[in-house]
Each structure stands twice: as C-alpha cells, then as structure tokens.
A and B are shown apart, each in its own frame.
Chain A
Amino acid sequence: MVHMEYYLIVSTIMMFAGIYGFLTRRNLLAMLISVELILNSVDINFAVFNRFLFPGQLEGFFFSLFAIGVSAAETAVAIAIIINIYRNMKNIQVRNLDKMKW
C-alpha cells in the first residue's frame, strides 16, 4: 500500500520544480513547460485527495480531468502568443521582452 504522503511528496517536488523553472528559465517555451508542471502537480493532488480522503466520490477526478482540459486550451493560447511574439521580435528570450514596462 502506497501511502498518501508519497504521492504528495512527488507532487510537491513537481510544483516547486515548476515554480523554479518559471522563475529562472530564459526561454518562453521552457517557462510554458514549467507552468504545465505546476498544473500537473495540482491535478495529482486532486486525484490523491479524492482517492484517499473521499473514496466514494468522484468530484476530485472530474476536477482534475477538467483542469487538464483547461490547461490544454491555455497551452494552445500561450503557444499562439509565443508564436506572435516571435514573429514580431524574432526572439523568445524572456530577458529581451520588456516592451510592457512603464
């Protein structure tokens, strides 16, 4: 029997890896991947809590499925934005994208 904590440890590691990547990666695509990591860690949490704490119910599973769907859509939008940024700037390095400052 795998304890709930093991799942949570994995998802926590994924979460902080994602945050770290989001803050430090220089490439927009890598940042996007980091965001996906964060989202997936949350999905795991949903599934785990449902499985261990409320075994007779399905809301947690459904919610993680729902979040996967939303994150797919979000990825599509993000990629579209990144492509547009590339077309305009010929560049997707985060450091160079400071057009939106004061």
Chain B
Amino acid sequence: MEYTILILLLPFLSFILLGLLGTRLKPSVAGAAGTIVTGAVAILCYWTAFSYFGAGRDASGVFPTLIPWNTVWLPFGGSLHIDLGILLDPISVMMLIVISTVSLMVHIYSFGYMKGERGFQRYYAFLSLFTMSMLGLVLATNIFQMYIFWELVGVSSYLLIGFYYTKKEAVAASKKAFIVTRFADLGFLIGILIYGFYTGTFSFTPDAPALGAAKALLPLALGLMFIGGAGKSAMFPLHIWLPDAMEGPTPVSALIHAATMVVAGVYLVARMFPLFIGYAPEVLHITAYVGAFTALYAAVVACVQSDIKRVLAFSTISQIGFMIVALGVCTSADPHEGGLGYMASMFHLFTHAMFKALLFLGAGCIIHAVHSNEMSAMGGLRKYMPVTHITFLVACLAIAGIWPLSGFFSKDEILAACFRFSPVMGGIMTFIAGLTAFYMFRLYYCIFWGNENKELHAEHRPHEAPYSMTIPLIFLAAVTLFAGWIPFGEFVSSNGQAYHIHIDWTVAGISLCVAAAGIALATWMYLREDRTVADGLAVRFSGLHKAAYHRFYIDEIYQFITHRIIFACISTPVAWFDRHVVDGFMNLLALVTNKVSWLIKGIQSGNVQRYSIWVLGGALGIAIVLLLI
C-alpha cells in the first residue's frame, strides 16, 4: 500500500503550486486544480479504506496495524528517533474518510461561496496545506510526527481564520487562536518530551519494559498531552479561541473548526487510549469531567447567542465535549466491559463531522443570501431557500439525536457508555443532549420560521445558493441520513475486536424523549410570530441571560488576567528592566568605547614619520626593559 504516501504528497504539491503561482493563475483554474487534487486524494483515501478493511482481520481477530511507508528522520541514539511515515489502523483510516470527504465538499462549496473574493488562489493554497497537514496528523506513526503536523494544522488554521486580513476582528481572532492553541501545545510538547525521555521512544506502542520504567511518570506525560488536545479541541477553559475563529470564511469554519481540526484532541486521546487505560485511568476520568463541564457550559451559552455561526461554534464545543466524555468514561479496553465509549466517541466524531459540516455549509448559504450573521436579519427564509432549509433541518434533527439519523446512533452509544460509568454522568449528558436539541431548533426556527425581517428582505431578496453550494449540502445530508446504519463497531472498537452495536432502548428511549422535549420547547417558544415567552424568560432571568450571552465573562477574565496581572505586574517591570538595565549597560559600554576612541584617535595621524618614532620608542623601551631584567 505504498501509494498511501500520495495522500500526503498530492495536497502538498498542490499547495506549493498554488502558493507559488498565486495570482498568475486564473481563480477558476486555481480552484479547479485544488479541487481536482482533493478529489484524487479522496479517491485514494476511499480506496485505502476499501482495501484496508477489505483485507480483513488477522488471526487474533483485529485489523492489523500497517506501516506501509516509514523513514527515520532524526535519530537521537538508542531506540529514540523521530520517524516520518504512514500508519494505517482502523481509526486513522476512518479519519482519512472524514477528512477527505469534508475537505472535498468544502473545496467544491468554496467555488460558489468565495466567488470573486480577493485572494481566491491563496485561499485554495491554504486549503491544500490544511488538508495535507490534517491527513499527516492522523497518519502519523509516532507522537512526534503527530506533533509536527499538529503545529502545521495550527498554522493553516491561523492563516485561514485571518484570511480577510484587512478586517481587524479577523486578524485579532487569528492571533487569539494561534496564541491559545500554541500555549496549550506547550503542555503537549512537555508531555512528549517526558514520554520520550522515560520510555526511550516516541512510538505510540512502546514495549513493556520501557513502559514499566516510565510507569510513575506516564500519568503526568499523558495529562500534559491532554492539555495540548484540550487546546485544539477547545475544552474549557481553553475554548475561547473557537467562537472568535468564526471570523474566517464559513467553509473554513466547516472544514477546520467543526469537522476536522477541532477533533484532533479527541483523536489524540483515542490514539493514546491503550496507554491511558493501562497506566493512567484516573487521568482519563479527569478528561471526562473536563469534557462534561465543557459540554454543559457550551450548550448553555449556545442557547442565547444571536450570531448563527457562534451558536454553531458553541454547539461544536459541546459536541466535542461529548466525544471526550465518551473516551473518558472508559474503564477497560474491552468494549463489552467498559470500553464502549471509545467506539462511541469515534462513531460520534464520524457522524458529527458530517452533520456539523453540513450545518456550517448551510449557515454559509444563509449568510451568502442575507449578508449577515445575525438572527435578526433572518426569519422566514424557508420560502426563499428550500434546499438549504431541508438539509439544515436534517442536520438539526441529526444533532438533536432523532431516530433514524446518524446522530441518534452515535449519541445513544455515548449515553449508554456514560450510564455504564455512573448514572450521574449519564443523567448530565442526557440533559445536555436535551439542551442541544433545544438550541439547535431555536436556531432553526429563528432562521427559517418566525418573524421575517421584511424590510431587509425587500431591499435585498434572499435567494437560493448556486449548485456548487447546494450539491455538497445534499451530499452531506445524504451521508447524515444513512451514516447511522454503518456497523461502526465492526470497524473500530477499543480493543480492535469486532463489536456488534446493539441499541439499548431504555437509554435510547430516554434520550429520544429528552430530545423531543427540547424540540417541543423550542417549537413552542420560537415558532410563533411573537416571542413573548422567550423574551419574558430573558427578562425574568436577566442576570443569567446576560452572563450566558457574554459567555460567562470567560473572555473578560482572560483579558483581566493577561492585561491587569500578567502584563501590568510581570511584563511591564521585566520590559523596564530590559530597556533600562540590560540595554543601559550595553549602551554604557558602547558610549565608553566611543568616547575613549575619540580621545585617542589623534595618535593615528597618517604621518609615517611619527609612526616610526613610536616604533623606535617602543623598540628602545623593550630593549631597556630587557636589559634591566
């Protein structure tokens, strides 16, 4: 399967080509080149998946881990070396499908969405760069290669968030995203170094003696790695960059900040899962609590946001919280014992990528039609945009967890895993699932039903998006409709053995009821023309509403800590010390040298005879000294 190297090389070449030629290419040519390459990559990924899963299980009943291509890049001596290569196992192959599918859809969609934008070629170049780095991340053979591509993903995210670089908010958002994730990656790097130092390898699967030697420090290393994952996956309190990242073009939000990059943290935990479960189960459970809190927080905030992309961003954070919780509640590697969450998490990752990309692309169509992100500019759009309306509804039903859409199956597995861990966790997650249904349908009704902003729509009549934008919507909606029926446990499970998914109808019944209740509540509050109930509640609980609208002031707390404490109390004195003491000392040295040289430069008069007098005097002086000694 050596051809898998092409999965990385093709988008890289496309990035180089588009990046170097830039505006010398016609926009349509650049877009077509990027899309064709991504299409080829997608075909390769599907073919890889087909042949990988088609080859079947080995004698012990698991899909073998293949390394079709590997090269030692940086040897450190002993068993410690950084490799670059390609690793195929069930989760990486599953991720290949997710990334290539969503990336291809976004490439096609961007033809319509980005039409006529300045920097169209640059946009496609960055998309190729992102695709390459994300594929490299999931195919990494060792933790360090993963880290390299992890940073590349961060850079491409930065470049794409700041795509509209003349817009001040976009620049600030890209900077924020980069700094926050980079700060978290510091933890990741330290974790990798501890891991590499004590186990003597960067491999994902060190041998038993190495692990025994590192046993005491593995929980620390894995915990630090999870901090990196939490930064990328926007776990509380490192989530602050994701809502702001919505300043980027909407297809980028769909690709990077909904479907692929933000699940890198989940993927990281899944990748290190055998170590987590074997050596640091308590750290794994901490991740579950972090995930659950994040999911709850984000769901509450999503209920009151007025910018549709922000709602979707918080919904993404909440859903990633679900995936992390599902991983965190695992108590053993056996899916029948307590490892169900692993499969559930990966399944939800897969289905969520599809329907969340669909939601974002749908939101892109809406923004394209009304030229605003605010709900107040929308309402009643179902008449103008039937295709967007139907596909958006499908995605909303999926994320709310309604049978038989894909979200139902994956969320049901997560809830079942949570109930198996503890009824409290299960109860909380079910409640959040209800909140999810509520805020998604609030969003849906506010966009497509309810009060129409007639003035605005009369001035600029909303219109259905072009085919290049609706075809990806239809495709993703089809995937969302049918992906739940994939026997996912047959491909991915915590110990690699085939796991037959059976729906626990008690859990499923509860979650369906809660979802239906959430939808019903949203329907009752937001379907009607007047919003008396909603407005009344907002006034009644004005403190809570305001706090949630301002995202519980987390950004302000960050602002306070960074500006008032770190900048004012640490950075300013340090800067003063640097400018006045350190620089002052150097300036003093320079000043003394300068003055002294002014004083003594008269000696160099250019007069040869005077020089020779000095020479003679010197020679005589030395002669006298030598004679006297």
Contacts and interface: CB of A to CB of B under 8 A. Distances in A.
5 smallest beta-carbon distances between A and B, as pairs: A101-B606, A98-B606, A100-B606, A102-B601, A102-B604
B613 A23 contact: yes
Given A19-B616, A100-B606, 7 more contacts: A22-B609, A94-B607, A95-B607, A97-B608, A101-B604, A101-B606, A101-B607
Interface residues of B, number: 10
Interface in B591-618: 601, 604-609, 612-613, 616
Contact of A97 (B601, B606, B616): B606
A90 interface: no
B607 A23 contact: no
Contacts of A100: 606
Given A94-B609, A97-B608, A100-B606, A23 B616 contact: yes
A99 interface: yes
A101 B608 contact: no
Given A19-B616, A23-B616, A101 B605 contact: yes
Contacts of A99: 606
Contact of A94 (B601, B608, B613, B616): B608
Contact of A98 (B605, B613, B616): B605
Contacts of B606: 97-102
Contacts of B605: 98, 101
B620 to A, nearest CB: 11
A24 B609 CA distance: 7
A19 B615 CA distance: 11
A31 B612 CA distance: 12
Contacts of A19: 616
B325 to A, nearest CB: 76
15 contacts: A19-B616, A22-B609, A23-B612, A23-B613, A23-B616, A31-B609, A95-B607, A97-B608, A98-B605, A98-B607, A99-B606, A100-B606, A101-B604, A101-B607, A102-B604
Contacts of B607: 94-95, 97-98, 101
Nearest to B608: A94
B618 to A, nearest CB: 14
Interface string A9-41: 000000000010011100000010000000000
A24 B607 CA distance: 12
B331 to A, nearest CB: 82
A19 B604 CA distance: 21
Most chain A Cβ neighbours within 10 Å, of B609, B612, B613, B616: B609
A23 B601 contact: no
Contacts of A102: 601, 604, 606
Interface in A75-102: 94-95, 97-102
Nearest to B603: A102
A101 B608 CA distance: 10
B223 to A, nearest CB: 65
Interface string B303-316: 00000000000000
B604 A23 contact: no
Nearest to A99: B606
Contacts of A22: 609, 612
A99 B607 CA distance: 9
A23 B613 CA distance: 7
Most chain B Cβ neighbours within 10 Å, of A23, A95, A99: A23
Interface string A45-88: 00000000000000000000000000000000000000000000
A102 B608 CA distance: 13
